[in-house]
Amino acid sequence: MIVVTGATGNVGRALVERLVAEDQPVRALTRNPGRAAFPSGAEVARLELDRPAHLLDGATKLFLHIQATGDRTGGLLDAARAAGVRHVVMLSSGIIDEGADDETHPIRIWHATAEQQVRDSGLEWTFLRPISFATNALQWAPQIRVGDTVHGPFAEACTAPIHEDDIAAVAARALIDRGHSGAVHRLTGPEPVTTTEQITTIGHTLGRDLRFIEVPPDQVGPDLFPHVPPSMLQGILKSFAATAGVHPEITTTVETITGTPARTMSSSGSSVTIRKTLPATL
């Protein structure tokens, strides 16, 4: 049995669907099972982190998403070990980069602490470290709802966004196949794209002429990043500043592990992410 935390998130849901498609026994954990709408082949359980033992009954593998488990991660790992779980695949962050870390960054601290908890658990582990998510484009959704102009910092910030289903595809292989224990998989999309180019691509997908207008970072407030906790906003801006005018890290990990190239921002595959998310909120 594979237990999936964060099962209603963009990565978790895609992972559950992939595991069901491969006839893998999967238990999807969610705070609201009645509204989850998972595939019929998935077992669904309510995420009750104050009683983790029953969530892991019969499980041998765990997909760990710390946005779902929060400060209960350590307790869940203890319960996993007691239940006989052997392998944990953790969705971490590409901000952790050995030899080049900013150890004061709050997002880095959060994920590095969780990674250490996984290492200390005594379980086999695999860390997935995506660097930039395609659905980060949702940060612009409120502005796109009301007009064709998007304001934000760092027009030339350059990343290689990865489609969340590509992350899920790697997670599935790490959970099902041998050879991933102790591995750290850094995950990106296959091509660099600036903030301005992302806005242009989204506009083309929506059939609209969108324009990006750069705002000085010292004038950026929480209204421009509604999905980011206010305490983390300055850290996010610092990360964006480091990518301005810099060619991003690009890996071929998705293709190496899954046999299928990662989707580009402008490809039909990546457009699925945009069509499924942005139009639904506009």
Same domain flag for 111 and 216: no
CATH number at residue 64: 3.40.50.720
Residue 10 within any structural domain of the chain: yes
Q: Are residues 91 and 53 in the same domain?
A: yes
Q: Domain check: are 200 and 152 in the same one? A: yes
Q: How many folded domains does the chain comprise?
A: 2
pLDDT, position 34: 82
Neighbours of 274 (CB within 10 A): 20
Q: Would residue 199 count as lying in a domain?
A: yes
Co-location of 126 and 143 in the same domain: no
Last residue of a domain, one of 111, 130, 149: 130
Asked if residue 18 and residue 101 are part of one domain, the reply reads: yes
Q: Are residues 148 and 273 in the same domain?
A: yes
| Residue 176: inside a domain | no
Query: Does one domain contain both 60 and 85?
Result: yes
Residues 59 and 147 in one domain: no
Do 126 and 18 share a structural domain?
A: yes
Asked if residue 197 and residue 71 are part of one domain, the reply reads no
pLDDT given for residue 23 in this prediction: 95
In the prediction, which pLDDT does 100 show? Answer: 53
Residue 99: predicted pLDDT = 54
Q: Return d(Cα 29, Cα 80) in angstroms, integer.
A: 14
Q: What is the Cα–Cα distance from 91 to 129, expressed in whole angstroms?
A: 7
pLDDT at 76: 94
Mark which of 106, 130, 154 sits at the end of a domain: 130
For 28, the 3-state DSSP assignment is strand
19 and 111, same domain (yes or no): yes
Q: Which of 177, 175, 176 is nearest to 88 (CA)?
A: 175
E strands, 164-262, in order: 184-187, 193-194, 211-214
**From first to last of its 282 residues, what are the pLDDT tens digits of the chain?**
999 999 999 999 999 999 999 999 999 999 888 888 898 999 999 998 888 888 999 999 999 999 888 889 999 999 999 999 999 999 999 888 865 556 677 788 888 999 999 999 999 999 999 998 998 888 888 899 999 999 999 999 999 999 999 999 999 999 999 999 999 999 999 999 999 999 999 999 899 999 999 999 888 888 887 777 777 788 788 888 888 888 999 999 999 999 999 998 876 444 444 555 555 444
What helix, strand, coil percent values describe the chain, rounded to 5?
A: 45, 15, 35
Quick check: is 233 in a domain?
yes
Looking at the structure, do residues 141 and 126 belong to the same domain, yes or no?
Answer: no
Q: Is 155 part of a structural domain of the chain?
A: yes
* Residue 167 maps to a domain: no
Q: Which two tokens stand for residue 143?
A: 């502005």
- pLDDT for 229: 78
Domain assignment of residue 111, given as a range = 2-130
In a domain, 178, yes or no: no
The pLDDT, as a whole number, for residue 260 is 96
On whether residue 177 sits in a domain, the answer given is: no
∠ Cα 127 48 23 (to 5°): 55
